[in-house]
Structure 1
Amino acid sequence: MPDSAHSALPVVAVFTGDPAGIGPELVETLLAGEVWRSRARLILIGQRAALSAPADVLWHDWPGLRDAAYPPGIADAANGRYMLEGLAQGVDLLQQGRADALCFAPLNKSALRQGGMTQEDELRWFAERMGFQGVCGELNVLQSLWTARVTSHVPLKSVSSLLSAEKVAEAIGMVSRALRASGVTQPRIGVCGLNPHNGDHGNYGDEEQRIIEPGIRLAAAQGHAAQGPFPADTAFVRAIRAEGGYDAVVTMYHDQGQIAMKLMGFEQGVTVHGGLPWPITTPAHGTAYDIVGQRKANAQALINAFELAVRMAHSRRPAPAPLLTKETSP
């Protein structure tokens, strides 16, 4: 590729994730392919000894952890600290203008907490690390279908009390902006109801009329059109129809969307940390401790996450950032 064409590509930082999980294997598979070379410039965050990488890959090292050993399949404070430090390096590259997007391999939440993460999940950790106080939320992507949710990692008994028209509108707006950033110029968004049969005119609950419908109207007034609410048991049927389908479905709680998405493609799904100042993507599956080192891990979700990070980086920054050299350390 000519130097001028190469310099026009976005820069994506790729972190190998949990060193005790399948992350290094997944990243190795990504690097073994040739497609990424024509799509982006890549900066690799991880342990050099943990995977085979092409000689021309640019590494970003940081002191103290490059030579540490992490037993496979063990979630403890040591690999939790490693993951947090690796993510911090990725955020630094974004904030310094050296990377346009971050893609990371799966993490283990138990290890993250043992390693010092006090936030409910890595999305909130990212927001705090960046000093970001705006609206953000987890988005899930399977091929061309996206989902957003109004509530996330909370007890099911708390969902109704946490819903509001403003939060419904925020979720619609967040996924609408993310879709546009990924190249969808006119997002088609459907919204789920909360109760069985959409509440059956109030017989099984009234959140649809009292909260969700006003939220859809509020989002429309803010420039983010959506349709619904639809009964949750048919919303995804509507979404995947060849004609008249949707680019995204907004759900009211975690499993309302996650069950459908994982049934449709467990090893392909991508999580986007929506609303943050920079594109951040990761596979939607976990660290698969039970198959570490067996070369059974399917890398498709990581490849999809990388591809999506590239698309979002393209739309965000037309001019590339300067690259690190091969041996740069902070």
Structure 2
Amino acid sequence: MDRAFSDEVASDQWRRDAQTWVAEQIDEAQVLAVEQVRIRPWSTQLRIETDAGRYWFKALPPGAAYEAGLHAVLAELAPDDVTRPRVVDAQRGWILAADLGPTWRETRPATTADWQTLMVGVAGLQQRLALHEEAILATGLPDCRPARTVDLYDRFVTLFAELDADHPCHVDEGLRAALVEARPAVVEASVRLVGSALPVTLQHGDLHTDNVFASAAGLRLFDFGDAQWAHALEVLAVPRGVIDDDPAVEWEPVLASYAGAWDLTPDELAGDLSAAWLTQSVHRCLTWWRALSSATAQEWRQWGEAPLHHLTRVSARD
């Protein structure tokens, strides 16, 4: 792709190509209307209305194209836990799925009990997927296991220090010194998680109730664009942030339910959890860096501080 992803997918030619592909995949239905509902540097979505119902098409830039193949693999490995796309083109990073109705968050506000149910299910999914490392990593999913975290941290500190001063991720000498000073904590956290009783497995990366469908058949996860192969506990970072902002939900029972799914208590997880908060900061920096890899200059101005924000979280942890 010679130009920014958002410029490419806004072109008439790209839209014609995408709509032709969609029509070929659902040739039993007549396409009635197509609307491009969102363009971001990390994805775009088309809503397709047909005489047989609604479909959704998602396209990813090269830096995130792995999501298409990953979603297909996860649907095979965990059909009771993950939505099943109609079809994917892993090479192009294209996903076509039938509309499944409102997400869980669109249905009703999540309660503490809802979050407990979700996190117990996620723990079970992680336990099963930990056995399929080779197949999952073969999709191109970012490998963020703890043994790789320190090297990733060092590379980002060096890279950001070498960026032009006007780049939103530029690290000046003072900030670089602070990041170097924080490095031993990253090393300590990584070493602890390498020896953890919990495995490296799929980390959804953006786990909240708007990325879950709930039905009588159970819960189904989707949207794996932020996923990584990382320590299991890193999956708790986003739920913790969402729950902390929701006065109607209590975090402690949710954590206890998740820990119990591993036959552990929150106290037994405490040390590993503190380490995972820190390593997740480094890995979240990678998520954002990859998400912006095909961004325009304007998109860098809008979102470009995110990678550095997450990297610098390593020195803000208690």
* TM-score, normalised relative to structure 1: 0.26
* TM-score, normalised relative to structure 2: 0.27
Q: More helix by proportion, 1 or 2?
A: 2
**Structure with bigger RCO (C-alpha 8 Å, 6+ apart):** 1
